[in-house]
Structure 1
Amino acid sequence: MKVAFIGLGIMGGPMAANLVRAGHDVLGHNRSRPAVDRLVEAGGRAAGSVAEAVRDAEAIITMLPADPQVTEVAYGDDGILAHAPQGALLIDMSTVTPATSAKLAADGAERGLRVLDAPVSGGEAGAVEGVLSIMVGGEAAHLDAARPLLDALGTTVVHVGPAGAGQTVKAANQLMVAVHIEALAEAAVFLKASGADLEAALRVLGGGLAGSTVLQRKQGNVLGEQYAPGFRLDLHRKDLGIVMDAARELGLALPAGSLAAQLVASACANGDGGLDHSALLRGVQRLNGAVVSPTEREDVA
């Protein structure tokens, strides 16, 4: 298929490259040129504007940071709705509010576009490996048409309901991931302060009921205390805002989610927003005065 891919960042870049490897003709656009150059090196093509990217596309994929960027790319004078051909698929794989996705689907349909919201989970590693989990909202027939693309990007592609439903499921995903990472961070601080072999402990925990994809993907960050962003804390803060706003509208109490949102906000306020969300470990360390081992505690005493 002829694919316009808009947003070639940490996630979008490898996703677009996987579409090239799957045999699709990918024309990419990004605000910064180096990301476009990387796609060209992978076999894709470069577009100088959104309008140029989408003009002849059979499918348009957006992978952008938040609602304002999606709105700008979709509705601007140079945007998708003004320049995409009738009948094209528009697949927004960004994480935005369900209301934004529902509006885009309705407005796109008025212009003859087939719109899906298809946010993803799996982080940078999942994007690189093509094993993302993709939660799709919109008409089932549109998903059938989009499957050749989505199957090149993920191993779990599930239709979860009408327009906006994909974003609702993604919000739940981000809630669970934040709580899991915070639990991993607290466990790591507890284990280290107790004098346990942290690497061995995380290995055995991963084989039991405490095991999770979060533990599998993030234990290297925790062990090395290295936080190159696979998914930035400032983006996770935005996502948890979506969760808490939706919960408020529904009249729901989400105590663990509320605490996770506060801890992520605290990490961002302390300058960690550009780090990977596994840097929640730094917040737990701050709360505990940069944890020391039992032997060091005795030395201090």
Structure 2
Amino acid sequence: MSTIAFIGLGIMGSPMAVHLQNAGHDVVGYNLHPDKTKPLVDAGGSAAASIAEAVRDAEVVAVMVPDSPDVQDVLLGEDGVFANAKEGTLVIDFSSIRPDVTVQLAKAAGDKGFRLLDAPVSGGEAGAKNAALSIMVGGADADFAEAKPILDAVGKTVVHVGGNGAGQTVKAANQLIVAANIQALAEAVVFLEAYGVDLGPALDVLGGGLAGSKVLDQKRTNMTTKSFEPGFRIDLHHKDMGIVTSAAREAGVVVPLGGLVAQLMASARANGDGGLDHSGLLRGVERLSGRLSG
């Protein structure tokens, strides 16, 4: 069992930290909003008043924050991990950030005597709560082997996909696929409703055929009830689509559907839906179809 500092206890990070504590690790949590540490403390973990305090005695540091600049601040800041953790500490970055930034951070980690794995996750809030996340890991073989028991405590599908940056690249591809699926499902729902079809049975039969997907299974209730309490916010998926389109351009490949969905995600955000669950793309289809109410 390890002493783990967990930085970032939001929708995803909080249940992940609790699972690690329940698995027998000694977890010290830090979050910008201290009240977010309560579930971890209730599970037997402890709360730190700063990143420096959280990481000082940690063997492993886990990071789950929103974007590339946030990870850079956590790792490189004066109060950050590299300035305060013990040399040799393994850092597992569960955040979804730019692959090129991850490569730069991995080099900085190595230069300062640390080891870094990029380990972005997929599965949303439900996956985090059920310890059923899919985790795509980039980094050295030995570091992955050391981290595997920790990753297994929060994930169901844990795969080493290559060196540093590979995990983030695979996550970008994941977000492309998820966004396209959500958009297609949203369009199908509006189409079915326009014809007065009984939506529940229609989605049942679609889910049993080739049109079936985890997106349909997990997001159908949001769309049928028009309830978009965030499991994964449009704001964050907007960020991820920016990563996809930028990285594709750098690689010299085209993602025409990805580019379109990125614009639809940006439109949803511009219309005030950024804080909604990404299933809220349904509202964009309704808006374009003149069917949005409320």
TM-score, length basis structure 2: 0.98
Give runs of aligned pairs for residues 62-141 of structure 1, distance below 5 A: 62-141=63-142
1:41 corresponds to: 42
Equivalent in the alignment of 2:230: 229
CA contact (8 A) 1:189 1:291 kept: no
User: Where does residue 13 of structure 2 map in the other structure?
Assistant: 12
Q: Indicate the residue corresponding to 1:255 in structure 2.
A: 256
**Do the aligned partners of 2:119 and 2:167 also contact (CA within 8 Å) in 1?**
yes
Q: 1:38 Cα deviation (Å)?
A: 2.2
TM superposition shift of 1:111: 1.8
Contact kept, 8 Å, 1:179 with 1:257, in 2: the verdict is yes
Pairs within 5 Å for 1:137-286: 137-286=138-287
Return the alpha-carbon distance in structure 1 between the equivalents of residues 247 and 232 of structure 2.
22
Q: Residue 295 of structure 1 aligns with which residue?
A: none
Distance 1:194 1:58 in 2: 58
Q: Is the 8 A contact 2:283 2:292 kept in 1?
A: no
In the alignment, is the contact (CA less than 8 A) between 1:137 and 1:167 conserved in 2? yes
Count of matched residue positions in the alignment of Structure 1 and Structure 2: 292
Alpha-carbon distance in 2 for matches of 1:291, 1:12: 33
| 1:33, distance to aligned residue in structure 2 (A) | 1.2
Q: Deviations over 1:189-235 (max 9, x none)?
A: 01111111101111111111111111111111011100000000011
- Which deviates further from its counterpart, 77-86 or 245-254? 245-254
Cα contact 2:118–2:137 (8 A) shared by 1: yes
Identity %: 60
Deviation at 1:291, TM superposition (A): 6.9
Alignment-mate amino acid for residue 272 of structure 1? D
Could you say which residue in structure 2 is the equivalent of 1:56?
57
Amino acid in the other structure paired with 2:244: V
State the alpha-carbon separation in 2 of the partners of residues 51 and 138 from structure 1: 24
**How many angstroms apart in 1 are the aligned matches of 2:45 and 2:205?**
43
Q: Is the 8 A contact 1:117 1:163 kept in 2?
A: yes
Q: Secondary structure at the match of 1:51?
A: helix
* Two-structure CA RMSD over aligned residues (Å): 1.0
Which residue is 1:297 aligned to?
A: none
CA distance in 2, matches of 1:98, 1:10: 23
Q: Secondary structure at the match of 2:191?
A: helix
SS in structure 2 at match of 1:112: coil
CA distance in 2, matches of 1:28, 1:114: 20
2 CA distance for matches of 1:118 and 1:218? 24
Deviates more, 1:107-116 or 1:122-131: 107-116
Rounded to whole Å, the distance in 2 between the matches of 1:4 and 1:39 is 12
- Structure showing greater radius of gyration is 1
Displacement, 1:238?
Answer: 0.4
Distance 2:153 2:207 in 1: 28
CA deviations 1:70-92 (Å, max 9, x no partner) are 11111111100001111211000
For residues 132-183 of structure 1, give each alpha carbon's deviation from its aligned partner in whole angstroms, at most 9, with x where no partner exists. 0000000011000001100001011101111001000000000000000000
Q: What does the per-residue CA deviation read over 1:27-77, in whole Å, with 9 as the maximum and x for residues that have no partner?
A: 000000111122111221001100000011010000000011111111111
Give the structure-1-normalised TM-score: 0.95
What amino acid sits opposite 1:282 in the alignment?
R
CA distance in 1, matches of 2:111, 2:56: 17
Distance 2:96 2:169 in 1: 10
Q: Which consecutive residues of structure 1, in runs of 5 or more, have no partner in the other structure?
A: 293-301
Q: Secondary structure at 1:152's aligned position in 2?
A: helix
